[in-house]
Amino acid sequence: MSNGNMSFGSKHMWYITGAAVLIALLAWALLQRDVLTSIGIGNQQATSTETSTDTSGGTTASSNLPSGWPSDAPALLSGAKITYSGQSDPKTEIAGPTVVFTASSKPQTAVTFYKSQFTAHGWTFRGQGDDLGSVQLAATKGTRKVTVTILETRSGVLNVTIGISKLGS
């Protein structure tokens, strides 16, 4: 390399490094888009509201919950700010009343809270899974299923989606 030109191997390594950086940036952008969509940013149906504490330690804001929201649904976390309320999950498009909100809490605290809410409202806990940094909880009651997805968007701030659908959806 006395003439200042890069060798074939050196050029090849730069192309590989550039491609890896490009792929990492694209993956990051897609994850950011999914997070923003899941919290209702850019969603025309989104609403924002403060909620009040109920006697079970959760929160309610019936005027901002979707129509058809069942009275035996798990309560929202204390201090919840509703970002979406509608008749289907904005991310999965599964039909059924759904609410998305943000709250200040830790994931494990929310998991414990929702497991106790399932019991308190007569739901049968069916399982817990982890997917891409979020925790999903599932419970059933009669012909219905409730799914709670908990994602910590930054330290101490959760994005929670609660959807109620018919079994088999």
Contact (Cβ atoms closer than 8 angstroms) between residue 128 and residue 119:
no
Q: What is the pTM of this model?
A: 0.63
Contact (Cβ atoms closer than 8 angstroms) between residue 57 and residue 75:
yes
C-alpha to C-alpha distance for 134 and 67, rounded to whole angstroms: 27
Between strands 134-141 and 144-154, the pairing is antiparallel
Domain boundaries, the chain: 1-38, 52-166
Length of the chain: 169
C-alpha to C-alpha distance for 139 and 61, rounded to whole angstroms: 22
Q: What band does 89 get if pLDDT is binned at 50, 70 and 90?
A: confident
Matching residue, tokens 């759904």: 98
Domain 52-166 belongs to what topology?
A: TATA-Binding Protein (3.30.310)
Between strands 81-88 and 59-60, the pairing is unpaired
Helix H or strand E encompassing 144: strand 144-154
- 98-137: per-residue pLDDT in tens? 999 999 999 999 999 999 999 999 999 999 999 888 999 9
Query: Hey, what are 167's tokens?
Result: 């079994």
Per-residue confidence (pLDDT) for residue 53, from 0 to 100: 40
Q: What is the mean pLDDT of residues 145-152?
A: 96
Contact (Cβ atoms closer than 8 angstroms) between residue 110 and residue 77:
yes
